[in-house]
Amino acid sequence: MKNIESLIDLAGQHVKKIQANKADATACLADDILRSQLDDHDETTSFESIFGMFFNPSEDRLSIRRHTEIIVLEAWLRHPSRPHIIDFDSSSDKTTIFNPLKQAIIDTILPTQPWAKRLQSFAAEKSAVETSDEDDLRRLRLMNVAGLNLLSHLERIDPSSSGRAEQKLILSLTSCLVSFTDPREEWSSQEASELSHSLLNALLRLSRAEPQRFRSFVTVLLEQHVKALFAKTKNPAITSQGRKAIVVASTNYLINDPENELKPWKFHHVYVVTMFRWILENLDATSIEAHWPLLIPPLLALIDDASTLFKIRGCELLILFLTKVPSPLLERTGLGEVFQNALMPCLLYLPSLTPENESTAILETTYEALFALNRQLFPGHKHRRSRIKGFDKLVRDGIFKGYAHAGENVRIAELLVKKMTDLVNEMGIDSAKHLKVKPSLPPSPGPKKLDLVFPDDNFKAYNTFALTSIVRAICDGIPSPAQGVSSRY
Phi, psi of 214 (to 5 degrees): -65, -40
Q: CA–CA separation, 111 vs 188, rounded Å? A: 9
Q: What's at 126, amino acid-wise?
A: K
Contact 324, 280 (CB under 8 A): yes
186 near 118, Cβ under 8 Å?
A: yes
Q: What local confidence, expressed as pLDDT, does residue 45 receive?
A: 54
Please say whether the beta carbons of 335 and 244 come within 8 A. yes
Predicted confidence at residue 487, as pLDDT, reads: 42
Number of H helices, E strands in the chain: 28, 0
Q: What angle, rounded to 10 degrees, do the helices at 131-157 and 2-19 form?
A: 140
Q: What is the pLDDT of residue 378?
A: 92
- 244 forms bridges with which residues in the sheet? 238
User: Taking the CB of residue 373, how many other CB atoms lie within 10 A of it?
Assistant: 22
For residue 83, give the H/E element and its range. Answer: helix 82-85
Q: Which residues pair with 238 in a beta bridge?
A: 244
Read off φ and ψ for residue 238, nearest 5 degrees: -130, 155
Rounded to an integer, what distance in angstroms lies between the CA atom of residue 29 and that of residue 192?
A: 18
Spell out the per-residue pLDDT of the chain, length 489, in tens: 455 666 667 667 767 666 666 555 444 555 555 445 555 555 545 566 666 666 666 667 667 777 778 877 777 777 665 554 455 545 456 677 778 888 889 988 999 888 888 887 655 554 444 555 677 788 888 889 989 999 998 888 776 666 566 778 888 999 999 999 999 999 999 999 999 999 998 888 766 767 777 888 888 999 999 999 999 998 999 998 999 988 766 555 445 668 888 899 999 999 999 999 999 999 988 889 989 999 999 999 999 999 999 999 999 999 999 999 988 999 899 999 999 999 999 999 999 889 999 999 999 999 999 999 999 999 988 889 999 999 999 999 999 999 888 868 889 988 998 898 889 888 888 887 877 655 554 555 544 443 433 444 555 555 555 556 556 655 565 554 444 444 443
Smallest CA-to-CA distance from 289 within 233, 215, 339 is with: 215
Largest Cα separation within the chain, whole Å, is 95
Count Cβ atoms within 10 A of the Cβ of residue 160 and give its class: 0-12 exposed, 13-18 middle, 19 or more buried. Answer: exposed
Which pLDDT does position 453 carry in this prediction? 39
Asked, as a colleague might, if the bond just before 6 is cis with ω within 30 of 0, I would say no
User: Could you give the 3-state DSSP secondary structure of residue 238?
Assistant: strand
Q: Which of 140, 142, 139, 120 is nearest to 129 (CA)?
A: 120
Contact yes or no for 172/218 (Cβ under 8 A) = no
Q: What is the pLDDT of residue 57?
A: 64
Contacts of 300 (CB under 8 A, 6+ apart): 235, 237, 238, 314, 338, 339, 342
pLDDT of residue 344: 96
Secondary structure class of 19 (helix, strand, coil): helix
- Chain center to CA of 27: 27
Question: What Å distances lie between residue 197 and 106, 181, 413, CA to CA?
Answer: 16, 6, 40
d(CA 302, CA 311): 5
Are the C-beta atoms of residues 310 and 302 closer than 8 Å to each other?
A: yes
Our CA dihedral for 255, 257, 260, 266, rounded to 10 degrees, sits at -50
**Residue 202 buriedness (CB in 10 A; 0-12 / 13-18 / 19+):** middle
Question: Distance between CA 135 and CA 430 in Å, rounded?
Answer: 55
pLDDT for position 392: 92
Spatial separation of the C-alpha atoms in residues 100 and 106, rounded to whole Å:
10
